[in-house]
Amino acid sequence: MKRRLKQKIALALLFVFAVMGVSQCPGMANASPEPKPVTVSLNTWEETFQNQPFLQDGSAYLPLREMGRLLNGKTTWIAEERRIVMSHPDVAVELTLGSKEAEINGEKVVMRTAPINKNGVVYVPVRFVTQAFGGKVAWDEKKRHVALTREEPYMFLDYAGIGFWLAREDGELHAAKGAEPSRLVADTNVAIKGYGQLEIATLSDQTFVLKAYDNYGEPANNSLIYKLVVSGGKLTLESKAYYYGHPVRGIDWSSAMHALLVNGSTLYEVNHEGAIVATHDLQALTGYEDENFHVEWYDDEFMVVRPDRTGWLTLVNQKTKETVNLTETLLSKAQWDIYQSLDKLSPEFANWDGLNVVTREGNRLQLNHYYFIDSKDTKYIYDLK
Residues 58 and 199 in one domain: no
Q: What is the pTM of this model?
A: 0.86
Query: CA nearest 129: which of 82, 54, 70?
Result: 70
What span, in angstroms and rounded, lies between the C-alpha atoms of 48 and 267? 41
CATH number for the domain harbouring residue 55: 3.30.457.10
304 Rama class: left (phi>0) / alpha (psi -120 to 50) / beta: beta
Range 23-40 average pLDDT = 64
Compute the C-alpha angle 375/379/381, nearest 5°. Answer: 150
**Other C-beta atoms within 10 Å of 333: how many?**
8
pLDDT exceeds cutoff 60 at 18 = no
What span, in angstroms and rounded, lies between the C-alpha atoms of 93 and 229? 29
Instruction: Please give the pLDDT value at position 30.
Output: 53
Query: CA nearest 352: which of 333, 364, 336, 366?
Result: 336
pLDDT exceeds cutoff 60 at 312 = yes
Residues 144 and 48 in one domain: yes
* Total domains in the fold of the chain: 2
Residues 231 and 374 in one domain: yes
Residue 33: which pLDDT band, with cuts at 50, 70 and 90? low
Residues 250 and 114 in one domain: no
Range 359-367 average pLDDT = 96
Residues 200 and 312 in one domain: yes
Residues 246 and 365 in one domain: yes
Instruction: Please give the pLDDT value at position 194.
Output: 92
Choose one of 104, 119, 149: the last residue of a domain.
149
Torsion of CA 189, 192, 193, 195, to 10 degrees: 160
Compute the C-alpha angle 39/43/45, nearest 5°. Answer: 55
Range 294-316 average pLDDT = 97
Q: Domain limits at 46?
A: 39-149
Q: pLDDT by residue (tens digit) across 95-131?
A: 999 999 999 999 999 999 999 999 999 999 999 999 9
Q: pLDDT by residue (tens digit) across 201-232?
A: 999 999 999 999 999 988 778 999 999 999 99
What span, in angstroms and rounded, lies between the C-alpha atoms of 296 and 305? 6
Residue 22 lies inside a defined structural domain of this protein: no
Residues 291 and 214 in one domain: yes
Residue 7 lies inside a defined structural domain of this protein: no
Residues 202 and 298 in one domain: yes
Compute the C-alpha angle 12/17/23, nearest 5°. Answer: 130
Instruction: Please give the pLDDT value at position 11.
Output: 43
Instruction: Please give the pLDDT value at position 321.
Output: 96
Residues 293 and 257 in one domain: yes
Residues 187 and 249 in one domain: yes
Residue 160 lies inside a defined structural domain of this protein: yes
Residues 116 and 205 in one domain: no
Residues 165 and 65 in one domain: no
Residue 285 lies inside a defined structural domain of this protein: yes
pLDDT exceeds cutoff 80 at 360 = yes
Choose one of 130, 149, 168: the last residue of a domain.
149
pLDDT exceeds cutoff 80 at 6 = no
Instruction: Please give the pLDDT value at position 174.
Output: 98
Choose one of 149, 181, 210: the last residue of a domain.
149
What span, in angstroms and rounded, lies between the C-alpha atoms of 86 and 81? 15
